[in-house]
Structure 1
């Protein structure tokens, strides 16, 4: 079995976002916030990540293909 790296993308007292390969896991204790995020992504008129599954308290989304446009804390 291949080793998969788990990257903490962002974490604070309300939410943690992890990247595992091509999947992002958003862990949030507020289920309403997760439900709203999944709903908004489905309605957005721009490319958004595919929602792979949503099981409280986790929303799993696919990574979007393409180049990274920037990094948090990096040059603007």
Structure 2
């Protein structure tokens, strides 16, 4: 992805320990605790379900790709997914 191709940056979540930004199809997680990022990357590696690809890590930032597929829902909106 070229930065010129980015139309917007969205703050997904932010608090005093971590901020997660969406830039195009990339999520940037900025975390004050490198150990927390290490645990998250290991958990994604071990998970038996699809997880985002780790694109790069340069403390304090972790860059991950968006998981392909259709979203099951969005925060604050009703889910379009079937209850089944």
TM-score by length of 1: 0.89
Once the two structures are superposed, the pairs formed by residues 26-37 of structure 1 within 5 Å of their partners are 26-37=29-40
In angstroms, what is the RMSD of aligned CA positions?
Answer: 1.4
Unmatched segments (≥5 aa) in structure 1: none
Residue 41 (structure 1) aligned to one of 18, 40, 44: 44
1:1-76 matched pairs, under 5 angstroms: 1-75=4-78
Structure 1 residues 52 and 7 mapped into 2: Cα distance closer, same or farther (>3 Å)? Answer: same
Deviation at 1:4, TM superposition (A): 2.7
TM-score (norm 2): 0.81
Q: After TM superposition, give the deviation of residue 74 of structure 1 in Å.
A: 3.0
Q: Which runs of 5+ in 2 are unaligned?
A: 80-84
- Bigger RCO of structures 1 and 2 (CA < 8 A, at least 6 apart): 1
